Structure 1
Amino acid sequence: MTELQMHTSTAVELRDVVHIFGSKQAQVRALDGVDIRFARGSWTAVMGPSGSGKSTLLHCAAGLERPTSGRVMLGDHDLAGASERELTQLRRQDVGFVFQSFNLLGSLTAEQNVALPLRLAGQKVSMTNVRQILTDVGLGDRFRHRPRELSGGQQQRVAIARAMVTRPAVLFADEPTGALDSRSARTVLALLRSMVRSARQTIVMVTHDPVVAASADSVVFLNDGRIVDRLIQPSVREVTDRLAALEA
Structure 2
Amino acid sequence: MRNATEFHGVSKEYGRGEARVRVLDGVDLALPAGAWTAVMGPSGSGKSTLLHCAAGLEPVTSGRVLLDGEVITGVPEGVLTGLRRRRVGFVFQDFNLIGSLTAEQNVALAAKLAGARVPRAAVRAALGEVGLGDRLRHRPRELSGGQRQRVALARAMVTRPAVLFADEPTGALDSASARTVLDLLRGLVDGGQSVVMVTHDPGAAARADAVVFLRDGRVADRLVRPAAAQVAARLVELEEVAC
Which has the larger displacement, 80-89 or 174-183?
Answer: 80-89
Q: CA deviation at 1:76?
A: 2.9
Q: CA deviation at 1:27?
A: 1.4
Corresponding position of 2:124: 131
Query: Which amino acid is the alignment partner of residue 87 of structure 1?
Result: L
1:117 is aligned to 2:110: yes
Quote the sequence identity (%). 65
Query: Which amino acid is the alignment partner of residue 213 of structure 1?
Result: A
- Cα distance in 2, alignment partners of residues 25 and 188 from structure 1: 42
Q: CA deviation at 1:123?
A: 3.2
Aligned length: 240
Corresponding position of 1:183: 176
Alignment of structure 1 residues 1-248 onto 2, 5 Å? 9-198=2-191, 200-248=192-240
- Cα distance in 2, alignment partners of residues 123 and 92 from structure 1: 9
Q: Deviations over 1:36-56 (max 9, x none)?
A: 111111101100001000011
Query: Which amino acid is the alignment partner of residue 208 of structure 1?
Result: H
- Cα distance in 1, alignment partners of residues 104 and 222 from structure 2: 38
Query: Which amino acid is the alignment partner of residue 203 of structure 1?
Result: V
Q: Deviations over 1:195-214 (max 9, x none)?
A: 0002x111100001111111
Question: How large is the RMSD of aligned CA atoms in angstroms?
Answer: 0.9
Q: CA deviation at 1:82?
A: 1.1
Q: CA deviation at 1:10?
A: 1.2
Gaps (5+ residues) in structure 2?
Answer: none
Gaps (5+ residues) in structure 1?
Answer: 1-7
Relative to the length of structure 2, the TM-score reads 0.97
Q: CA deviation at 1:125?
A: 3.5
CA contact (8 A) 1:92 1:117 kept: no
User: Structure 1 residue runs of 4+, over 3 Å off?
Assistant: none
Q: CA deviation at 1:26?
A: 1.6
Q: CA deviation at 1:63?
A: 0.3
